[in-house]
Structure 1
Amino acid sequence: MTENLLSSMGLDRPETGDDAVVPFTLEKLDSRGRVVRLGHALDTILSRHDYPVPVARLLGEAVVLAALIGSSLKFDGRFILQTQTDGPVNLIVVDFDAPDGMRGYARFDQDALVKAAEAGKTSSADLLGNGHLAMTIDQGPHTERYQGIVALDGKSLEMVALTYFQQSEQIPTQVRLAVAQMSTKGDHRPRWRAGGMLIQHLPAHGGAAMADLPGNGDFDDPRMSDPDFVEADGWTEAKVMLGTVEDLELVDPDVSPERLLFRLFHETGVRVFPPKALVERCTCSAERIEDMLANSFSDEERQEMAVNGEIEVVCEFCSTAYRFNPNHFHQ
């Protein structure tokens, strides 16, 4: 980037690399947004389970979407994205542990997946099928959870996300997601990479003047329920620009989020905020599992769980195996 480009974006730092979210505003277009770029963190999540490629790609999209939404939380807590459907991939769970931790898991029917592949139906919408998508915000044990649920009826995660924001948040929103395997010199296998961008139309009541990045979903735009509402020209332009983004641009390690934003919005101007790092992190622990075994099962049930004198519990997210002596709990 040239100095003029850096200055025009309000950028006085190096360009952002992988595993980060970059907030931005488009003040002339009355919009705001976030760009997510994932490399090592996503490859770790997807590779440890050796998912079939279509399943890994779908789970990758879910991880990106969760990062785009969860990274806007203004408190320590969890954002949980979960799908339950009748499709070949019948369950997806992604946890975003604010402010930066991610983990994800997918469950699939191997026979149904093979049939879908033979029929050439391996898109996100095909693999999901019909069911629902739940997005849950959990602020901790002493607060009430907030949950929004939308139907999955043969649509992609991108399209379902738009429905979620329209119904639950009433914020005009557009989302782009891309996941790919890419090889670089020295790699012994292709690595998973992903990128995503979310833009939202700012509310009418002065949102463009906000000093830090908005995006916490704490307002409703009254214009959305107005039958005479006409979409603003700035929002139309922002959506059109986002629609020109190619998948390769979202995942290319040589195209930083800042460069991508400049390509899209240099004519109208874009202001970029400091990035937030993202990491792959599982929240499982021996202590939590031990508490669960002690408080949720009887001595008899724990004895029945034991194989060769041990209870083994494997974390579905990170595949870590924990082993316990069933006699330990009633000593």
Structure 2
Amino acid sequence: MSDFSQRFMFDDSDVRGELVSLGESYAHVLAKHPYPEPVAQLLGELLAAAALLVGTMKFDGLLILQARSSGAVPLLMVECSSNREIRGIARYHEEQVTADAGLRELMPEGVLTLIVDPTKGQRYQGIVGLDGINLSECLSDYFATSEQLPTRFWLNADGRRARGLLLQQLPAERITDAEERAASWQHVTVLADTLSAEEQLGLDNQTLLHRLYHEENLRLFDPQPLQFKCSCSRDRSANALVSLGEPDAEALLVESGGTIVIDCQFCNERYAFDAADVAQLFAGGGVKSPSDTRH
């Protein structure tokens, strides 16, 4: 299994962790667009971050990470569902992307928005500036300032694999003394800071955790699979047309030469609607007899 998240717990302290490994799903995302290496790495890190966050949440719905900037990469967007289905996309200006560019060079004046969109209940949104040297630092800073549980991230990607490590301090239970609690948190995070990119990308989870925490009592839980899956569909595209209203949809049909084509930017799927399809939609007939879908 190349795509999975895996939780672990420290038995003697109030800290839990999550590990994420993405291979096949990362390859699916990169196969849809010819991303330059620095952009592919940044997108891989954001994919890993989304998968880590979903692993810490109990909800039904969608987690969205959306980063915008005024620079070479104006948009990064990743979605991961509570069913652990993930997709992502980047927008970039190729002439502005240099070979060794990092987050600050690629996304100056950047802002990251974290959105939790539950199937039932109220939507939550948090915003953090992309002021750190990398995405790991930015996300860690977000949790440090948002009055949520202290959380640290370690993210790496190389165009073939995307890996992530998350540590989160839980409410006081095993250690209730404030100084001891702070020392315990510092201990596990300082050890995680010694992890190199090569180790994170190359080691399996058991070896990685032994490398960091062989002196700790630690439980590693069963892995949970992740997969690339796009949430686009012909029905969704049809609903978008219906939301335009019949006059605007018919005008768009004329402008498009008799066929409206809606492209999914995430997976390059194409949904075509001719005059008969549009008439059927507004007559309440749905998309039961659609035109061919083209890839």
- Tell me the equivalent position of 2:201: 251
- Tell me the equivalent position of 2:114: 135
Aligned pairs for 1:1-331 (under 5 A) are: 17-113=1-97, 117=98, 122-140=101-119, 142-153=120-131, 155-181=133-159, 192-204=160-172, 206=173, 232-252=182-202, 255-304=203-252, 306-331=255-280
Higher mean C-alpha displacement, 150-159 vs 34-43: 150-159
Could you tell me which amino acid in structure 2 is paired with residue 268 of structure 1? E
Is the contact made by 1:262 and 1:270 (CA closer than 8 Å) also made in structure 2?
no
Q: 1:207 to 1:73 in 2, by over 3 A?
A: farther
Q: Distance in 1 between matches of 2:233 and 2:191?
A: 44
Structure 2 gaps, min length 5: 281-295
Higher relative contact order structure (alpha carbons within 8 Å, sequence separation ≥ 6): 1
Task: Calculate percent identity across the aligned residue pairs.
Answer: 34
TM-score, normalised by the number of residues in structure 1: 0.78
Q: Distance in 1 between matches of 2:207 and 2:132?
A: 34
Q: 1:250 to 1:270 in 2, by over 3 A?
A: same
Could you tell me which amino acid in structure 2 is paired with residue 199 of structure 1? L
CA deviation after TM superposition for structure 1 residue 97, in Å? 1.0
Deviations 1:56-115 (A, max 9, x none): 1111111011111022222221111001111211111110111210000111122332xx
- Tell me the equivalent position of 1:5: none
Q: Distance in 2 between matches of 1:70 and 1:128?
A: 24
CA deviation after TM superposition for structure 1 residue 279, in Å? 0.4
Q: 1:144 to 1:260 in 2, by over 3 A?
A: same
Helix, strand or coil at the partner of 1:134: strand
Is the contact made by 2:12 and 2:174 (CA closer than 8 Å) also made in structure 1?
no
RMSD across aligned C-alpha pairs, in angstroms?
A: 2.1
Could you tell me which amino acid in structure 1 is paired with residue 121 of structure 2? T
Q: Distance in 2 between matches of 1:312 and 1:232?
A: 56
Is the contact made by 1:303 and 1:326 (CA closer than 8 Å) also made in structure 2?
no
Is the contact made by 1:76 and 1:98 (CA closer than 8 Å) also made in structure 2?
yes
Deviations 1:30-78 (A, max 9, x none): 3111000111111111122111111111111110111110222222211
Q: Distance in 2 between matches of 1:173 and 1:144?
A: 23
Could you tell me which amino acid in structure 1 is paired with residue 267 of structure 2? C
Helix, strand or coil at the partner of 1:71: helix
Q: Distance in 2 between matches of 1:269 and 1:125?
A: 38
Helix, strand or coil at the partner of 1:267: coil
Deviations 1:250-272 (A, max 9, x none): 222xx321221122111112111
Q: Distance in 2 between matches of 1:53 and 1:298?
A: 44
Is the contact made by 2:7 and 2:19 (CA closer than 8 Å) also made in structure 1?
yes
Could you tell me which amino acid in structure 2 is paired with residue 313 of structure 1? I
Could you tell me which amino acid in structure 2 is paired with residue 193 of structure 1? R
Is the contact made by 1:126 and 1:154 (CA closer than 8 Å) also made in structure 2?
no
Is the contact made by 1:130 and 1:154 (CA closer than 8 Å) also made in structure 2?
no
